Amino acid sequence: MTHERHLKMPGLSTTPMPATTVDANANLESVLAAWHGATVRLEQTHKILRDEVARLTTELNRKNQELARKNRLADLGQMASHVAHEVRNNLVPVALYVSLLRRRLADDDASLKVVRQIESGVAALDVTVNDLLHFTSDRAPRWEPVPMRRLVKDVFDSLSPQLHAQAIDLTIDVPKEMVVSADRDMFRRALLNLVLNAIDAMPSGGELVVTACQGPRGVELEVADSGSGLDGDVLRRAFEPFFTTKRGGTGLGLAIVYRVAEVHGGDVTAMNCPEGGAAFTLRIPRPAMEAAA
């Protein structure tokens, strides 16, 4: 009989691991892998939630600021409306008396000069009252089709002597067939105020460019000048009621533009042009025009 000798190598076990131990290790690795995956997803979810909370906080602050602004404007509008009506009621007899005084002093040139100065002051006050009434007007737009190019030309025809006197070159880039759905009187007032603002920015002459385009999002009307542009504070407060850098200005011109844009469901923005000067863009979104159609 042959006897076989089984040699056992030092440090090497020939005893197989139980199946339960192998299964336990595999389960532990699965648990660890699942735990790691859950931790990664939790971190990603936490980052998404943190970013969303930051976004919502910023949006809430912006909404609160806008609400506070609207409340202030509502209070200011009521006060301004009351003042405007009171002033207008008193302007009517003043204008009448000045007219009678002019007739009585028809042969007195020195006195007529004083009368003309009074009339000039009354006219300036009437402009201020009109601005206040336009600013405080709370009526809804009377929507109608408005030919854009015709409206622009109508505004500039009325300002032609002033443009010529100040040596301002005018460029109108508005398609002939463009029609915007808007309140014609409101829109004309907004355009007039933007143009007057641009003219004031160029007392020594310059170039005034009016551009309009109609895209999928609505209508945009831009009024650009070649003046000195807007500094940081003016750019930030341009549409704030009663804020003005003009001597004798009411500070309501651009505020009225903002109001007109707002009641049309649109907006107005201001920016400095790369080549110099400033540009104001009035936008009326297509959904607002379609809803009014």
How are strands ordered across the β-sheet holding 278-285?
Answer: 168-173, 206-215, 218-225, 278-285, 267-272
What is d(CA 37, CA 48) in angstroms, rounded to the nearest whole number?
Answer: 17
Q: What is the pLDDT of residue 12?
A: 46
Domain range spanning residue 181? 144-292
Strand partners, 171: 209
Residue 152 and residue 31 share a domain: no
Q: Scanning the structure block, which residue is given the tokens 């201020």?
A: 128
Number of domains, the chain:
2
Q: Considering the entire predicted model, what is its pTM? A: 0.63
For residue 39, the number of C-alpha atoms closer than 13 Å in the C-beta half-sphere is 6
Residues 104 and 188 in one domain: no
* Residue 11 within a domain: no
Question: What is the β-pairing status of strands 267-272 and 278-285?
Answer: antiparallel
148/283 same-domain check: yes
Tens-place pLDDT, residues 169-206 = 999 999 999 999 999 989 998 999 999 999 999 999 99
Amino acid at site 201: A
**Cross-strand pairs, 279:** 224, 271
| Main-chain dihedrals φ then ψ at residue 108, nearest 5 degrees | -110, 95
User: Does 275 lie in the same domain as 154?
Assistant: yes
Shortest CA distance to 131 belongs to which of 174, 184, 190, 183? 190
- As a whole number of angstroms, the distance between CA 268 and CA 221 comes to 9
* Claim to verify: residue 112 and residue 249 sit in the same structural domain: no
Q: Count Cβ atoms below 10 Å from residue 276 Cβ, excluding itself.
A: 13
Q: Which long-range contacts (CB under 8 A, 24 or more apart) does 23-32 make?
A: none
Is the same domain home to 166 and 248? yes
**What CA–CA distance (Å, rounded) separates 86 from 95?**
15
Q: What is the pLDDT of residues 259-283, one digit of tens each?
A: 899 999 999 999 999 989 999 999 9
Residues 127 and 191 in one domain: no
CATH number of the domain where residue 172 is located = 3.30.565.10
Specify whether 134 is located in the same domain as 148: no
Domain boundary among 97, 121, 138: 138
Residue 136 φ/ψ, nearest 5 degrees = -90, -5
**pLDDT value for 1:** 47
Residues 73 and 132 in one domain: yes
Contact criterion met (CB below 8 Å) for 146 and 180 = yes
Q: Where does a domain end: 83, 109, 138?
A: 138
Residue 227 and residue 282 share a domain: yes
| Domain match, 274 and 170 both | yes
Residues 208 and 261 in one domain: yes
Pair of tokens at residue 252: 């309501």
Tens place of pLDDT per residue across the chain (293 aa): 444 444 444 544 555 555 566 566 677 778 777 788 788 888 888 888 888 888 888 888 888 877 776 676 666 666 766 777 777 788 888 888 888 888 888 888 888 888 888 887 887 777 777 777 766 667 788 999 999 999 999 999 989 989 999 999 999 999 999 999 999 989 998 999 999 999 999 999 999 999 999 877 789 999 999 999 999 888 999 988 878 887 767 778 898 899 899 999 999 999 999 989 999 999 999 866 666 65
- Last residue of a domain, which of 138, 156, 178? 138
How many distinct helices (H) and strands (E) make up the chain? 8, 7
For 255, the 3-state DSSP assignment is helix
At residue 239, the 3 state secondary structure works out as coil
